[in-house]
Amino acid sequence: MYETIKYEVENNIGYVTINRPKAMNALNTQVLDELHTVFTEIESDDNVKAVIVTGEGKAFVAGADIAQMKELTAVEGRAMMTKGHNVMNLMESIEKPIIAAVNGFALGGGCELAMACDFRIASEKAKFGQPEVNLGIIPGFGGTQRLPRLVGKGMGKYLIMTADMIDAQEAARIGLVEKVVAPEELMDTCKALAEKIMSKAPLAIATAKTVINNGYNLDMKTASALEIEAFTGPFSSEDKIEGMSAFLEKRDANFQKK
């Protein structure tokens, strides 16, 4: 079904792998279209509870496909950037947790793809950067917006305007990634994280992701009202009864499958 990505589901975890190793998994329009299709499928598949995104070979995603972009007109370039934004926004809007397993280079569009995930776990070999100003352009898949929100306005400007590439440890120091692990531990670490989150109340996890994303840039008063409104959903669920009963009875909770 897919030519530029691999997709499989195992034990309720969806594994999405960008599969263009000869091109360092660069994002062209076909990859973006296939990513949009697979995440649309994931969104409606009740069998998938969490997602891990990674790249085939030694790169996560080394950027957008410059060979393709060089030939695009401004109108065509805008259309490609719109495709990219549609994919990243879809990933953020899906209620299921998405983990980026950053195995190597995550540059340009690759860094932007990782930032659209909920968590970024990096191999010690991973490298991050937004090198677009070296090419006469700016980040176009959300980098000017997501990077400053993750690392702060000053550091976001610094990385975008200098086009500096940083290693995994520096990415962790500034808050771009949540954890750095040995390369051979990367997928197991991501799988363990997915399983840990899947063991929690599914409605609560979905609601928490939505409220955090929707409230992040609101003023505190408005965001607090958003949280209060969202709180009533999980609070009136069977999972709330089960979770609190399990706590009081000192046993593991048996949450309903969402």
Just list the catalytic residues: 112, 132
Question: ∠ CA 87-209-130 to the nearest 5 degrees?
Answer: 45
Tokens matching residue 70: 């060089």
Distance CA 38, CA 124 (A): 28
- Give the C-alpha separation, 26 to 80, whole Å: 13
Whole-number Å distance between alpha carbons of 76 and 68: 11
CA–CA separation, 243 and 248 (whole Å)? 9
Answer whether 23's CB lies under 8 Å from 74's CB.
no
- CA dist 213 and 1 (Å) reads 31
Q: Which residues, at least 6 apart from 207, have a Cβ–Cβ distance to it below 8 Å?
A: 95, 230, 233, 234
Q: Is 170 left (phi over 0), alpha (psi -120 to 50) or beta?
A: alpha
